[in-house]
Structure 1
Amino acid sequence: MSEEKPQQSAEEPEPGEPKAKPSPEEPEPEPEREPEPGEPKAKPAPEKTSDYYRINEKLPVRFNNPGWFHGYGTKEAVSMYRTSNQAYGSRAPTVHEMPKVFYPSSNKFSKQHAAFGMFQSHNINVTLEKSLVTGPDNHITHYDRLNFHPSYNVNRPSICD
């Protein structure tokens, strides 16, 4: 007689029948045990903004989870050249600094520029500069050293008096 291994059925046992023992290939789940005093405790769940503040339901998920932001405080700068902005910017955001409301902007402006491009003026640049100091009818420039401003002309009276 040949010995055959019993095959496990894929069917689930009926509610009244005892469950079959797992095969030796499958490890049994370890029972939960209390951590010993020397072992580190499990980390608490990361804080969420919604745990402390009332947030808008349309708030993106990343703003509700400040622990998702990485890359803060990677390299320590020389203390002589360290600025207050570096000290503030090296800390990761907390739930108290995250936005509670999010107002997305529309992309109407970008769509228009993608379709038509930037505005281009095809006019010839022939306008004269008008000075607020010397008036609209005087078109002298600041490079004209002989006729800079009428009030500097000693032969005529000053118009600024």
Structure 2
Amino acid sequence: MMMKIKTRTALLFIALSAALAAPAAAEDQTTHHGRSNAAERFDKADTNKDGKISFEEFAASLPDFMLADTDKDGKVTVAELTSYLEGKGAKPKRAERRAKRIVKRYDANNDSAITATEIQSRQKKVFALLDKNDDGSIDNNEWPSRNWHHGKGHHKGTKKDNGQNSAE
């Protein structure tokens, strides 16, 4: 009888361990091809396929918010960016929240609008933070292993530092 209890306890422990480990394993965010989303993003950004991402490749892989400048004054406002994001399929309230967050992050002079210069400045800052060895390019070991440019938790670690350093 005591052996059955120990066996059940051991099996219960194994089952719980497996259940708790499943979310951690899923955190890798693999795609249907068995590759991680991070690896696919890296490959997509590495347009010349040299195994590293230059600043130009990095900047080109990011959304071009200046496309939202509908009045062509060289500035993108929250309203313009909201309309642009809605045109890309975002729901109105979510588009507005996201537009406000983007403008807040990129607007260096606090005029409630972003310019191409402010966007490029922000991109250079993020690129420099990701380029941990300061060689002017981002290699696969420096590339974030998680979804770093969307939603909460962006910039949380790279494959190399396992989340101990953050890029922002």
Q: TM-score scaled by structure 1?
A: 0.18
User: Of the two, which has the highest radius of gyration?
Assistant: 1
Q: Larger relative CO (CA 8 A, sep 6+): 1 or 2?
A: 2
Bigger share in strand: 2
Bigger share in helix: 2
